[in-house]
Structure 1
Amino acid sequence: MLRLVTTSLCLYCQRAHATPLLLTRPRSVIVQEENPLAINALYDLSVDISKVRKPRGWVLRQSPVYVSETAALLRDMGASGPVIARVLELHPEDILCKPDQIEAQKKLWMSVCTSQKDLVGIIEKFPASFFTSSSDHDNQKANIAYFQMLHLNKRIISKLMASASQSFRRPIEQNEQMIQTLQKTYLDLGGKEDNMKIWLQKLLTQNPYVLLKLPDTLHDNVVFLRNAGFTGDELLRLFSKLKGFVTELNPESMRLTLSYSRETLGCTETELRQIVLQCPALLYYSVPILADRFKGLLTAGVSMEQIMETPTVLELTTQIVQYRIQKLRSFGYDVCSGSLEVLNGTKKDFEMSYVKLRFRQERPLFNPVATLRTKE
């Protein structure tokens, strides 16, 4: 059977066409009809059905559904009508969760959320993290207890659950193994026991997905960087600047990138390590990307010495660098004869620097012997 679905700007017309018109089609192809109860209940909540039908139309063909029950629970927690509609549009699978299952999730999440308002904010951004299978509940509960045992505060735990929910759905042993590896690495590099909790919290906040990586990956990367000459203290600083993304690297790609960077910059291994500490991006950018960025800077007239003094400029794409250099040159400022620091930072940072430089370049000089104009 084949469904013919028509749409209209009028909500009443949309409801009228919610029950599909069926046309004859070969019996070998069977298309299940949409559940009219689900459609009508979603319309009552001002949900845009087209946003549900296109990516996850299968949800609308399920039965039973719990649209009103899900909406009521969210409303009781303080969610507004528009918020409820957005949640159901973003993750329509919510309507398949049984009320008792949602209540159990609410109780679990409130053990790490400071208020129902905070939980509603999480659900609005990460509905898939809240509306999970009942089979995940035991693992979630065990992992919450484990992270509380580590004395991580509620805000950190709730953020981990929201942004990296997979790590809370898997067996606790896997998270324990990664956390223990991180702790051992920190202490082996010379970190202080008293500061370990703060270091761990910062690392997990910066990159929650670090929990999903293999402990061997972290070990291999540390060994490589140690062999490259970095001291324990330097590695702790480097990990801090990498913001937890050290597990995204691998020895072979780092070897190629460091070799290319040293050859291109014409520096010693000691100088290269200091450059990497200033610009950790050198570790994870591929050789083709770095080659393009070096070429762009050199073509613009920037010297290799300037790049070595301000290596963080390599974190910017060639297009951004060219645009910023051109904009600075438009009022007569030539970065090639000064520091590249003015090019760095976010778009907002650059705009502020640009305004300050332009004002400094264009403001009139004060003449102390000129006659002052006064009102007569």
Structure 2
Amino acid sequence: MELCFHLTVGPVGLTDGPVGAAMTPMALQRSSGPIPVQFASAVFPRRVCNDAPNSSESKVPVNPENESLLENLSLMGVDVKMARQRQPGVLRKVFTNEQGVAEFLQGKGASLKVIASIISRYPRAITRSIDHLEQRWTLWRSIFKTDDEIVSILARSPESFFRTSDNENLVKNIHFLISLGLNNKDLHRLLTTAPRTFSNSLELNMQMVDLLEDICAELGGQNPKQFVKSVISRNLYILIRSTKRVKTNISILRGSLKLKDSELLALIEGHGADILDLSNEYLKKNLTNLQQKLASLGCKNTDMKKLIINYPMILYIGSDTLNSKLDCLLKGGITVQQILEKPKVLDYSTQNITERLEELHRLNYDFQKNGINILDSSRKRFSAKLEKLVRFAASEL
């Protein structure tokens, strides 16, 4: 069931006007009430300020770590050592809101273990006010169906929610992505898979979209907006990559494959969108290896070009792994031409391919006569086909 995105969300409202006006200034609040029972042992008096030292006293180090905060975090199950490595400045703050953040997340269904993990990996979370958290949660809930979905993302990627205190930027990003033709289902996938997209500055996201539109126009595309939507829908990480990486990958593909503009456009807009996500060096290395390997098997550059157009994910497979899979198939009696025609067989691990070949060889399966479609099937379907072959072989005896 697809969610319907409403342009008015709670107190912060997804309106065209300034959001800041609808938000109260962020102010850290030290709870005066008791921490919930689970955290009761973690309550320590917090030193808010110190009396000025006498001139005769030794000089106190500037901004020492807040000892009561460290004790509180330890009793909450937070990995203080990890927190210190991630964001050491947080542990020197006098005012923090670990109690309020914990209570807030518990109220949304997060377990104590998840809360401790979130703070361990992203300590800055305890500097956020309850007002800010409520506003941000409301915005996320305009996209997700349940609080549990948000909690699961925070457990995996706490920085996606706590990284910025700029809720107005989040609203702007949501508006911007909707303006590209993305719907609630698309936004849900983006937040689930690449949540940092929404904590990027609006300007950064706009730079990537501008680049994609320029690429579309340069390659002769007639609908830049649709091109951008297609690329983002197929490559959910594209907006958190650098424009330099994307531009360089386009140049590498064009130079290595000698593609026509229309071919390159179709590749990027289609199943090849993920190629833009690869690091430049990884892409170059895999292209070079593929070219050399195919050449050693008697293939031409046109074969490589056709292979990548039909199965662009081959460029995601590391050089050693790809060579191992190809060698395994060739040793098992599969021809290179059969691999070129059915490249999806390379989706499976070398071990999986080896086991299937061994089972089929025991039944004297003829790949030249029957083809290799049987190798490109789920475990369940392969087992069912194998069972039929066994029954057929038995009936021939």
State the TM-score, normalizing by the size of structure 1: 0.69
Offset, 1:180: 1.7
Quote the Cα distance in structure 2 between the aligned partners of 1:17 and 1:99: 20
Q: Which AA in structure 1 matches 2:388?
A: F
Provide closer, same or farther for how the CA distance between residues 55 and 219 of structure 1 changes in structure 2, counting only shifts above 3 A. closer
Quote the Cα distance in structure 2 between the aligned partners of 1:272 and 1:320: 25
Offset, 1:99: 1.6
Contact residue 291 and residue 304 of structure 2 kept, 8 A: no
Contact residue 34 and residue 62 of structure 1 kept, 8 A: no
Tell me: higher relative CO, structure 1 or 2? Use CA pairs within 8 A at least 6 residues apart: 2
Q: Which AA in structure 2 matches 1:212?
A: I
The Cα offsets for residues 133-158 of structure 1, whole Å up to 9 and x where unpaired, read as: 42x44543432332233232234234
Equivalent position of 2:326 in the other structure: 294
Equivalent position of 2:131 in the other structure: 100
Provide closer, same or farther for how the CA distance between residues 182 and 328 of structure 1 changes in structure 2, counting only shifts above 3 A. same
Cα RMSD of the aligned pairs, angstroms, is 4.0
Indicate the percent of aligned positions where both proteins have the same amino acid. Answer: 23
Equivalent position of 1:357 in the other structure: 386
Contact residue 153 and residue 192 of structure 2 kept, 8 A: yes
Contact residue 164 and residue 209 of structure 1 kept, 8 A: yes
For structure 2, the residue ranges without an aligned partner over 5 or more in a row are: 1-36, 45-60
Equivalent position of 2:239 in the other structure: 211
Offset, 1:129: 1.3
Query: Which residue, 301, 323, 327 being the options, matches 1:269?
Result: 301
Q: Which AA in structure 2 matches 1:85?
A: L
Secondary structure in 1 matching 2:237: helix
Offset, 1:178: 0.9
Offset, 1:276: 1.8
Quote the Cα distance in structure 1 between the aligned partners of 2:222 and 2:367: 42
Quote the Cα distance in structure 1 between the aligned partners of 2:65 and 2:360: 61
Secondary structure in 2 matching 1:244: helix
Equivalent position of 1:259 in the other structure: 291
Offset, 1:116: 4.8
Query: Which residue, 349, 358, 363 being the options, matches 1:317?
Result: 349
Provide closer, same or farther for how the CA distance between residues 126 and 215 of structure 1 changes in structure 2, counting only shifts above 3 A. closer
Quote the Cα distance in structure 2 between the aligned partners of 1:351 and 1:334: 21
Offset, 1:332: 4.7
Any runs of at least 4 consecutive aligned residues in structure 1 with deviations exceeding 6 A, and if so which? 14-19, 57-62, 364-367
Provide closer, same or farther for how the CA distance between residues 354 and 337 of structure 1 changes in structure 2, counting only shifts above 3 A. farther
Secondary structure in 2 matching 1:230: coil
Correspondence 1:143 to 2:173: yes
Mapping 1:343-354, distance limit 5 Å: 343-344=375-376, 349-354=378-383
Equivalent position of 2:183 in the other structure: 153
State the TM-score, normalizing by the size of structure 2: 0.66
Quote the Cα distance in structure 2 between the aligned partners of 1:366 and 1:344: 26
Correspondence 1:69 to 2:100: yes
Equivalent position of 1:164 in the other structure: 194
Quote the Cα distance in structure 2 between the aligned partners of 1:64 and 1:328: 68
Correspondence 1:304 to 2:304: no
Contact residue 275 and residue 308 of structure 1 kept, 8 A: yes
Equivalent position of 1:342 in the other structure: 374
Q: Which AA in structure 1 matches 2:300?
A: T
Mapping 1:182-193, distance limit 5 Å: 182-193=212-223
Equivalent position of 1:222 in the other structure: 250
Contact residue 325 and residue 335 of structure 1 kept, 8 A: no
For structure 1, the residue ranges without an aligned partner over 5 or more in a row are: 1-11, 20-27, 43-48, 368-376
Correspondence 1:90 to 2:122: no
Quote the Cα distance in structure 1 between the aligned partners of 2:173 and 2:41: 47
Quote the Cα distance in structure 2 between the aligned partners of 1:164 and 1:253: 26
Quote the Cα distance in structure 2 between the aligned partners of 1:289 and 1:68: 49
Query: Which residue, 124, 128, 131 being the options, matches 2:162?
Result: 131
